[in-house]
Amino acid sequence: MIKTFAAAPMSLFGYGSRKELIPLLKREGVKKALVVTDKVLFEIGIVSKITEVLDEAQIAYTIYKDVTPNPTLDNVENGSARYKEENCDFIVAIGGGSANDCAKAINVLISNGGSIKDYQGGNKSKNKGKLLVAINTTAGTASEISRAYLISDEKEKRKLIFKDDYAMPSIAVNDIELMMGLPKSITAQTGMDALTHAIEGLVSKNNSVLTNILAIKAIELIYKYLPKAVEDLGNVEARDAMAYGQYIAGLSFGNAGLGLVHAMAHQIGATYNLPHGLCNAVLLPEIMEFNKNSCIKDYALIAESIKPIECINMTEKEKASYAVRLIKELSERVGTSQSLTDIGVKEEDIDILAEKSLQDGCIFTSPVMPTKEEIINILRRLM
């Protein structure tokens, strides 16, 4: 089977690793950064930890900090305008998925012109972007290592989806010093997001030898370290393992694709403005159960990887069921196991949520193609 595999040319890991940007940026000869971020990260001092690095490298910058949790067309337009007004020559994104996604869109827009809407779909831009440093502050969306980005069209109330080789960040930074202050709920939700990436990447119709290796190892790391990270927020070992785990999961799903959990989570998140990781966490075990009979071998591998001793005398089917149970228990342990009613989903929206899920791009690599009724049933069971 022919497979492609995209990655960032350079990635940095470890506590304090943002400082490694100094020699890299000096070598690039860049002069002025557009820093793309949000107000919260600016106010809690995360942004200054990066601008200190730029100061040390004697690189100028201007900060665009208006990125919203679901970045909008306006964010992209305004960020691009700022880039031009201020004569920037590269971009530094600081955040989780939102800032990184917005920065990718700005980069495509400044290098190609027109409206960002022109570049919806796959590889639609013509010119490569500028140097893009993507600094991840959660673990995580893995947006720092993905070619995909989502931008909200507020007028038309929908998310525009882009996947572009030319949107891949040039340098992906996972400096856990920036993640140590994440609260329990965000640590848990973003960790479950990463776990969902790995599991959906593993069973995707478009997986490969390489994406499967990465997915399984990501699942192992996240299963082992997410509870430690949530229960002991200052645990450096757990934070570091989660940073690697989410990155590896990102390399996997970024090349293999996703599935039904994301197809449904996108609709629930957009309709009720809910955190993406929480939506994934609530849906994941039920959809694993739904896919189980088509994924016996992969699920068995999950169970064997995270609980090898316990699996010794089990059949493949037993191992697969055990994997679903282990993931459900993990979600309970880190506090993301809730009903859809708990998080605000309304009975009267179920039909339209199912309808929209069927149209989401992520569904096409799902190992099982569900009917609308099956999606409705999944939603009902989770209410």
Under the rule (CB under 8 A), what is the footprint of a second copy? 1-17, 19-20, 24, 27, 123, 165, 168, 208-210, 213-214, 217, 221, 240-241, 244, 247-248, 308
Least separation in angstroms between residue 12's CB and a second copy is 6
135 token code pair: 């600094």
Cβ-based neighbour number of residue 328 at 10 Å? 16
Nearest CB to a second copy, comparing residues 167 and 324:
167
Nearest alpha carbon to residue 49 among 80, 19, 89: 19
Radius of gyration, CA atoms only, the chain: 20
175 token code pair: 């400096």
Nearest CB to a second copy, comparing residues 152 and 255:
255
Least separation in angstroms between residue 65's CB and a second copy is 27
Nearest alpha carbon to residue 172 among 139, 141, 218, 132: 132
**142 and 96 Cβ atoms separated by less than 8 Å:** no
State how far the alpha carbon of 221 is from the alpha carbons of 76, 141, 145, 186, in Å.
35, 16, 18, 18
Nearest CB to a second copy, comparing residues 126 and 380:
126
Task: Identify any residues that bridge with 134 across adjacent strands, giving them in sequence order.
Answer: 93, 172
Nearest CB to a second copy, comparing residues 145 and 261:
145
Least separation in angstroms between residue 340's CB and a second copy is 35
Least separation in angstroms between residue 5's CB and a second copy is 4
215 token code pair: 């997915």
Least separation in angstroms between residue 154's CB and a second copy is 31
Least separation in angstroms between residue 255's CB and a second copy is 9
Least separation in angstroms between residue 17's CB and a second copy is 4
CA–CA gap between residue 223 and residue 229 (Å, rounded) = 11
Nearest CB to a second copy, comparing residues 15 and 364:
15
CA–CA gap between residue 24 and residue 193 (Å, rounded) = 30
Position of tokens 């005398």? Answer: 313
Nearest CB to a second copy, comparing residues 1 and 234:
1
Nearest CB to a second copy, comparing residues 4 and 234:
4
136 token code pair: 């991840």
Least separation in angstroms between residue 366's CB and a second copy is 22
Specify the 3-state DSSP secondary structure of 173.
strand
52 token code pair: 């200190």
Nearest CB to a second copy, comparing residues 106 and 145:
145
Measure the CA angle with vertex 200, ends 370 and 68; round to 5°. Answer: 100
State how far the alpha carbon of 33 is from the alpha carbons of 22, 174, 311, in Å.
13, 19, 52
Quickly list DSSP for 254-322: HHH---HHHHHHHHHHHHHT--HHHHHHHHHHHHHHHHGGG-HHHHHHHHHHH-TTTTTT--HHHHHHH
Least separation in angstroms between residue 30's CB and a second copy is 12
Nearest CB to a second copy, comparing residues 9 and 234:
9
